[in-house]
Amino acid sequence: MKLNKRDTIFLLIVAGVIIFLTVGATERTTKSVPDNDTHKNVTSRAQCMACHGVEGVKPQPLGHPKANQCFQCHTQPEHWVGSSKK
Ligand code: HEC
Ligand code: HEC
């Protein structure tokens, strides 16, 4: 098969799109929950919100999603003692 210039450019664009999509899919934009003593022992949302509610030591940022399942977006700490991701 002989490739002319247009074929080559087309193949490069296709390869670029594939690379872009695979890299984008593996990259998480949400921060993981820190794997420290505070975080690995917290097992309920109420506990999370005691610190991450508006009055807490580290409030969630403005416009943060109101979703309850923290671990759906923030990866669990590696040494977490609670049940596995629901
Ligand atoms: C006793 C207070 C406390 C509790 C309970 C707590 N956190 Fe935190 N959290 C903090 C503090 C303080 C920080 C910022 C300092 C740090 O990185 O440890 C933080 C940071 C974070 C961060 C951001 C990490 C970063 O890289 O900036 C996430 C996400 C988070 N917590 C999620 C959670 C979730 C989910 C829970 C419940 C399972 C939870 N936290 C329970 C105090 C708490
Ligand atoms: C629908 C997805 C989603 C859910 C569910 C979610 N978060 Fe977040 N959270 C985000 C996004 C997006 C950000 C902003 C990007 C970032 O900094 O991680 C964020 C940021 C944060 C931060 C600030 C991190 C920093 O230092 O900038 C904290 C603290 C946090 N979330 C706590 C929680 C807690 C506690 C829960 C459970 C009650 C929770 N989140 C549930 C998506 C989510």
Q: What is the pLDDT of residue 22?
A: 75
Per the listing, tokens 């594939």 go with 18
Pick the atom of ligand 1 nearest to 42's CA: 38
Residue-wise pLDDT for 52-66, tens only, equals 999 999 999 999 998
What separation in Å is there between the alpha carbon of 4 and the centre of ligand 1? Answer: 56
Residue-wise pLDDT for 14-48, tens only, equals 988 888 777 766 665 789 999 999 998 888 889 99
What separation in Å is there between the alpha carbon of 86 and the centre of ligand 1? Answer: 19
Which three-class secondary structure state does DSSP give residue 50?
Answer: helix
Nearest to 78 by CA among 51, 39, 50, 49: 39
Nearest to 58 by CA among 31, 86, 79: 31
